[in-house]
Amino acid sequence: MASTISPPPAAAAALASIATPTTLVGQHQLYTRIRLATPADVPHIHKLIYQMAVFQNETHLFTATESSLASTLFNSPPFQSFTVFILEVSSNPFKNIHSPAFLPIERTVLVDHVAADPEAETFKSGVANEDDDDVTVAGFVLFVPSYTTFAGKPGFHVEDLLVRECYRRKGFGKVLLSAVAEQAVKMGFKRVEWSVLEWNVNAIKFYEEMGAKVSTEWRVCRLTGDALEAYGDANY
Amino acid sequence: MASTISPPPAAAAALASIATPTTLVGQHQLYTRIRLATPADVPHIHKLIYQMAVFQNETHLFTATESSLASTLFNSPPFQSFTVFILEVSSNPFKNIHSPAFLPIERTVLVDHVAADPEAETFKSGVANEDDDDVTVAGFVLFVPSYTTFAGKPGFHVEDLLVRECYRRKGFGKVLLSAVAEQAVKMGFKRVEWSVLEWNVNAIKFYEEMGAKVSTEWRVCRLTGDALEAYGDANY
């Protein structure tokens, strides 16, 4: 499976005449876009999080509702608190959308094979208008500012990242994570950090290729459920 | 080393007549307070972070300055972004401070032995007035909202927690972490999460006793330094 990521917007503008990659025999062009999520994306985000719970064998922990997401995800300006990027794909160029806080990142990807998307109808993009009815939500990343105390500077913590199954192995995970990294650099942030399950060796390899240091020396501690609620009555 | 944590404020009020623990022979009473940090605490926070870098053998990563901390830590209301609790100790009851966003948590602790504090002068509390000149900063915790996607609810991520060496093994770490957990419950948050170095077995034991699940199945991934900056030019 070969996948090629076209030059970024700035480079593409400088090379306008060759901005569209040459399609080889058997290859297909797929337009991709990363944009900020809006409340209209909540039903898709909800389904994507469920797919993540399935992937991690943790559906028993899945209690999120569209309502809990809608009431918690959009209370702060983008990048100041919880922030979601949506990955969209389309077989046609995207129409412009109004997004002053974040200029959408558009790429054209050449893929050897475009698998049929069994959930294309379910994941039809919420911001697509009628002319754009082949725009499909293919994945998301949810991230939030963190703090690197040793540097005395903010960073981003990536809470979750998912590319839907039929769009995997095309470099889209890298595109999503790179968008977060690019935004971090733009804001003068000094770290992008996330966790990966140790058995997810493909992801670990992929993160290391991206330049991340995957450390085995940290243990993740979590206080949740009744163990957390017990602290609410201050009788600790 | 015996240490006793007195009842929390609510319980203490109900039991006013016995609110002060009985001091056994050889024991000393230590007044403790957890309060929100203010910009006046920056020099102490800076020194505490350095002590944490020393403890973790990572002073080569320490680049924080008082200025970088001051310009990044106080830009949002408490609990909405980076938040610091300061732990103070005193041999006298605390004077009230004005803190509408967070009612300081005061406890009286009985300790068998109060070690001399070699840095008492350096860590004299910034909010102490002249009458309170024995108020000393003993530790801190820095935390920030995170997001539990499976629950569709916010949580807190604890970035760093430190109790100065001469105040360790008195339960103060638990007091600091419990204050974060209590605040999380108060805000309807569903998780408090942090990382611990695997060799820090004392801390792991202590976190487990607090009810935390310490997981070995996650790996922490970090993109920092040049590897991160490379994403700034969008040539990925």
Of the candidates A92, A140, A138, A95, the one whose C-alpha atom is nearest the C-alpha of residue A117 is: A138
Percentage of chain A modeled with pLDDT above 90: 70
Please tell me if residue A232 touches chain B, with a CB cutoff of 8 Å: yes
A184 to B144: CB separation less than 8 angstroms, yes or no: no
Cβ partners under 8 Å of residue A10, min gap 6: B234
Minimal Cβ distance to A152: which of B69, B76, B145 = B69
Please tell me if residue B234 touches chain A, with a CB cutoff of 8 Å: yes
- Whether A189 contacts A48, CB under 8 Å: no
Q: Could you give the C-alpha distances from B6 to B11, B136, B191, in angstroms and in order?
A: 9, 20, 26
How many C-beta atoms lie closer than 10 Å to residue A178's C-beta?
Answer: 22
Minimal Cβ distance to B82: which of A147, A182, A222 = A147
Residue A160 lies in a domain: yes
Residues of B in contact with A142 (CB under 8 A): 147, 149
Top residue of A199, A222, A235 to mutate, by most chain B CBs within 10 Å, is: A222
Establish whether A207 is a catalytic residue.
Answer: yes
Percentage of chain B modeled with pLDDT above 90: 70
Please tell me if residue A199 touches chain B, with a CB cutoff of 8 Å: yes
Percentage of chain A modeled with pLDDT above 70: 84
For B155-170, letters b (16+ CB in 10 Å) and e give bbbbbbbbbbebbbeb
B181 to A228: CB separation less than 8 angstroms, yes or no: yes
Residue B8 lies in a domain: no
Give me the mean pLDDT over the B111-132 stretch.
77
Torsion region of B220: left, alpha or beta (phi above 0 gives left; psi -120 to 50 gives alpha): beta
Residues of A in contact with B212 (CB under 8 A): 221-223, 227
Residue A217 lies in a domain: yes
Residue B11 lies in a domain: no
A219 to B216: CB separation less than 8 angstroms, yes or no: yes
* Residue A119, phi then psi, degrees to nearest 5: -115, 25
Residue A4 lies in a domain: no
A232 to B10: CB separation less than 8 angstroms, yes or no: no
Give me the mean pLDDT over the A96-104 stretch.
92
Q: Which two tokens stand for residue A207?
A: 């993160």
Give me the mean pLDDT over the B81-103 stretch.
94
Minimal Cβ distance to A146: which of B157, B192, B229 = B157
Report which of residues B190 and B235 the model is more confident about. B190
What's the pLDDT score for residue B25? Answer: 66
Cβ partners under 8 Å of residue A84, min gap 6: A36, A37, A41, A45, A73, A140, A141, A142
Hunting for tokens 């080889």 — which residue is that?
A: A24
Taking only the tens place, the pLDDT of each residue in A170-184 is 889 999 999 999 999
Residue B1 lies in a domain: no
Please tell me if residue B231 touches chain A, with a CB cutoff of 8 Å: yes
Top residue of A5, A144, A176, A231 to mutate, by most chain B CBs within 10 Å, is: A231
Please tell me if residue B149 touches chain A, with a CB cutoff of 8 Å: yes
Q: In what order do the strands lie in the sheet with A213-215?
A: A3-5, A105-111, A28-36, A83-90, A136-148, A153-163, A191-197, B218-224, A213-215
Top residue of B15, B140, B147 to mutate, by most chain A CBs within 10 Å, is: B147
Give me the mean pLDDT over the B175-202 stretch.
94
How many C-beta atoms lie closer than 10 Å to residue A27's C-beta?
Answer: 18
Distance (Å, whole) CA A70 – CA A82: 12
What's the pLDDT score for residue A112? Answer: 76
B151 to A69: CB separation less than 8 angstroms, yes or no: no
Distance (Å, whole) CA B75 – CA B65: 17
Minimal Cβ distance to A204: which of B65, B219, B230 = B219
Residue B189 CA to its chain's centroid (Å): 18
The helix-helix angle for B172-186 and B201-209 (nearest 10°) equals 50
Report which of residues A114 and B76 the model is more confident about. B76
What's the pLDDT score for residue A42? Answer: 97
Q: Which of residues 81-110 of A touch B (CB under 8 A)?
A: 81-82
Please tell me if residue A181 touches chain B, with a CB cutoff of 8 Å: yes
Taking only the tens place, the pLDDT of each residue in A119-165 is 999 999 876 555 556 899 999 999 999 999 999 999 999 999 999 99
What's the pLDDT score for residue B233? Answer: 75
Residue B12 lies in a domain: no
Residue A185 lies in a domain: yes
Tell me whether residue A214 is exposed, middle or buried, using C-beta atoms within 10 angstroms of its C-beta: 0 to 12, 13 to 18, 19 or more.
middle
Hunting for tokens 């076209």 — which residue is that?
A: A6
ipTM of the complex: 0.82
Please tell me if residue B218 touches chain A, with a CB cutoff of 8 Å: yes
Complete DSSP assignment for A62-87: ----HHHHHHHSSSS-TTTS-EEEEE
Residues of A in contact with B9 (CB under 8 A): 234
Q: How confident is the model at residue A15 (pLDDT cuts 50, 70, 90)?
A: very low
Q: How confident is the model at residue A4 (pLDDT cuts 50, 70, 90)?
A: very low
Domain that holds residue B215: 28-231
Handedness of CA A66, A94, A166, A202 (dihedral sign): negative
- Look at chain A and report how many structural domains it folds into: 1
Residues of B in contact with A149 (CB under 8 A): 49, 52, 64, 142, 159-160
Q: Which of A10-19, B102-111, B185-194, B222-231 has the lowest mean pLDDT?
A: A10-19
What's the pLDDT score for residue B130? Answer: 52
Distance (Å, whole) CA A184 – CA A156: 7
Q: State the catalytic residues of B.
A: 207
CATH number at residue A94: 3.40.630.30
The DSSP call for residue A210 is T
pLDDT at B187 over 80: yes
Residues of B in contact with A52 (CB under 8 A): 149-150
